[in-house]
Amino acid sequence: MVESSAGGPELDAFEPTHVVPPGGLPSWSAPEPERTAPRLDPLLPVALTELRGDWARVVCANGWATWVDGRLLLGLPHPPGSGELRPGEDPRPLLAELQAALAEYRELLDRLAEGAVTVEEFARRAGGLRIGAVVDGTEAWLFRPAQRRWYHCDGRRLRPHAVADGES
């Protein structure tokens, strides 16, 4: 991505990843509720460039970038075979987070089994640990605790799937 003469981002070759839902979508100049920007037109093609929790930064074909509620974007299908991962779609960083959390939990279990920690100590140290992964062939559903969000991975890209309610 390069900066345009107007100071806004432009894509070298715009390739939409999503469209705006049929009712249009409010947008914001920053991922802050008080920083409103113009509403996006219904079914406008956009390219997702960044995710921050439920906030999604999208770029339009004319190079204009804005923030929207990423949960409301409609994903576009992409032809299979492209091994190229787009920004925010690479599942490997999230898999590394899950692997580290699982290793931490395994270490705690080992220490409990060896008698190196008490049940109370185990409960205290594991109390805030959250891990979620379901893998079924080429499909995976992965949980990112910091965002309380599930993601779906089809082997080619990682996409936001659902927000966890409460502390479940």
Q: Is 41 exposed, middle or buried (0-12, 13-18, 19+ CB in 10 A)?
A: exposed
Residues 50, 1 contacting (CB under 8 angstroms): no
* pLDDT at res. 53: 83
Mean pLDDT for 42-70 is: 90
CA distance 128 to 162: 21
CA distance 125 to 30: 36
What the chain holds in terms of domains, given with CATH numbers, is 2-75 (2.30.30.40), 92-163 (no CATH)
- Tens-place pLDDT, residues 107-154: 999 999 999 999 999 999 998 888 888 888 888 888 888 877 788 887
- Tens-place pLDDT, residues 46-59: 999 888 888 999 99
**Euclidean distance between the first and final Cα of the chain, in Å?**
38
